[in-house]
């Protein structure tokens, strides 16, 4: 089946078309549930690439659903249903397009903070450490290497900036100033607790969860886990048997695509290039491998 790059639900209100997800409302009622559709688009360096990855949206959705279920005793989530047979009648004409890649979710009042947990020194955290000896203002011991396991898991929040650029790392004090001390402490505790539980499961199947980011909102009076969760798009997953601290670690996420784009010396300006068939196939295989290891399933 070819990659699904865009969706069309007729007259249903399209609220947002992000780098990967298209978000619709079930109806014009401002309190109606939302339709989260994960397309097969893939982005890198803040640009959507010219090629999609077949089944990527289904893989991401099924991984999120696995984790929402796995974590439900720790934190509530916004999922109403992901079973297309239970979708409202107005969506049934689009069932084939939606199946496997769509969640009906409750609306949440989202916090303007991305909640990041880091267990290993990699990515922007490694760059920050090299420059300052700290990660997001949190001082770390001298002499750490790239990909090292951190002495303790760090909560390194970022401000959500919907301008197409990178989100901005912020201090915990800024989170307190934004959402209040009680909520900030609750978000930090939830982020670290979720990460540790997920990290333990990943480790049990031979995968290192190096870092990840969560988004939370409020439904009623309850802090709720929303958006996607612990997917290869929002997390850094490493094969444990290839872990060698002291340099970059092979990854299950889209670092493979970034490395290809660096190899062709793309200037990271629009228009973004298409990917060769081999890179598309290898990227899909990496996403499927992550899905199988984490969920124990071989079929979407």
Average pLDDT on 97-121 reads: 97
- Report residue 254's pLDDT band, with 50, 70 and 90 as the boundaries: confident
Note the pLDDT of residue 161.
Answer: 65
Q: How far apart are CA 115 and CA 209, in angstroms?
A: 15
Tell me the three state secondary structure of residue 241.
helix
Average pLDDT on 65-75 reads: 98
Alpha carbon separation from 264 to 66, 277, 294 (Å, rounded) = 36, 15, 32
Q: How far apart are CA 228 and CA 215, in angstroms?
A: 8
Q: What is the pTM of this model?
A: 0.95
Query: In this model, does residue 109 exceed pLDDT 60?
Result: yes
In tens, the pLDDT along 168-208 reads 889 999 999 999 999 999 999 999 999 999 999 999 999 99
Q: Read off the DSSP letter of residue 7.
A: -
Contact 93, 202 (CB under 8 A): no
Query: In this model, does residue 166 exceed pLDDT 70?
Result: no
Q: Cα(first)–Cα(last) distance of the chain, in Å?
A: 13
For 141, the token pair is 């011991």
Query: In this model, does residue 34 exceed pLDDT 90?
Result: yes
Contact 102, 7 (CB under 8 A): no
- Report residue 136's pLDDT band, with 50, 70 and 90 as the boundaries: confident
Alpha carbon separation from 226 to 218, 223, 229, 243 (Å, rounded) = 9, 9, 8, 30
Note the pLDDT of residue 169.
Answer: 86
Query: In this model, does residue 164 exceed pLDDT 80?
Result: no
Tell me the three state secondary structure of residue 280.
helix
Note the pLDDT of residue 19.
Answer: 93
Domains in the chain, CATH or no CATH each: 14-107 (3.30.200.20), 110-267 (3.30.470.20)
Q: Where are the alpha helices (DSSP H) in the chain?
A: 56-70, 95-98, 123-132, 172-179, 181-204, 255-263, 277-295
Residue of 245, 43, 23 lying closest to 144 (CA atoms): 245
Tell me the three state secondary structure of residue 116.
strand
- Report residue 1's pLDDT band, with 50, 70 and 90 as the boundaries: confident
Query: In this model, does residue 165 exceed pLDDT 70?
Result: no
φ, ψ of residue 292 to 5 degrees: the values are: -65, -45
C-alpha neighbours within 13 Å on the C-beta side of residue 171: 7
In tens, the pLDDT along 214-223 reads 999 999 999 9
Residue of 181, 191, 42 lying closest to 116 (CA atoms): 191
Tell me the three state secondary structure of residue 73.
coil
Q: In the chain, what percentage of residues exceed pLDDT 70?
A: 98
C-alpha neighbours within 13 Å on the C-beta side of residue 202: 29
**Count of beta carbons in the 10 Å neighbourhood of residue 15:** 11
């Amino acid at each position: 089946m070819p990659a699904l790059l865009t969706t069309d639900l007729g007259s249903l209100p399209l609220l947002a078309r992000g780098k990967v997800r298209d978000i619709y409302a079930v109806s014009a009622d401002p309190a109606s549930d939302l339709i989260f559709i994960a397309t097969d688009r893939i982005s890198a360096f803040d640009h959507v690439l010219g090629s999609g990855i077949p089944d990527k949206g289904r893989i991401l959705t099924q991984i999120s659903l696995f984790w929402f279920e796995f974590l439900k005793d720790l934190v509530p989530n916004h999922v109403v249903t992901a079973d297309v047979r239970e979708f409202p009648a107005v969506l049934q004409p689009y069932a084939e397009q939606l199946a496997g890649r769509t969640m009906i979710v409750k609306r949440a009042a989202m916090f303007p903070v991305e909640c990041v947990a880091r267990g290993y020194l990699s990515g922007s955290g490694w760059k920050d450490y090299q420059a300052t000896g700290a990660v997001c203002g949190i001082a770390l011991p001298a002499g750490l290497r790239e990909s090292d396991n951190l002495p303790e898991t760090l909560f390194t929040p970022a401000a959500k900036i919907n301008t197409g650029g990178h989100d901005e790392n912020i201090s915990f004090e800024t989170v307190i100033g934004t959402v209040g001390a009680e909520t900030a402490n609750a978000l930090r505790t939830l982020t670290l607790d979720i990460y540790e539980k997920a990290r333990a499961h990943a480790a049990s199947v031979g995968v290192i969860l190096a870092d990840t980011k969560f988004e939370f909102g409020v439904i009623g009076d309850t802090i709720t886990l929303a958006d996607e969760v612990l997917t290869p798009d929002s997390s850094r997953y490493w094969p444990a048997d290839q872990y060698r601290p002291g340099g970059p670690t092979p990854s299950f996420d889209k670092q493979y695509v970034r490395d290809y784009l660096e190899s062709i010396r793309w200037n990271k300006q629009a228009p973004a290039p298409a990917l060769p068939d081999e890179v598309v196939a290898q990227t899909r295989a990496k996403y499927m491998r992550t899905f199988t290891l984490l969920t124990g399933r071989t079929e979407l």
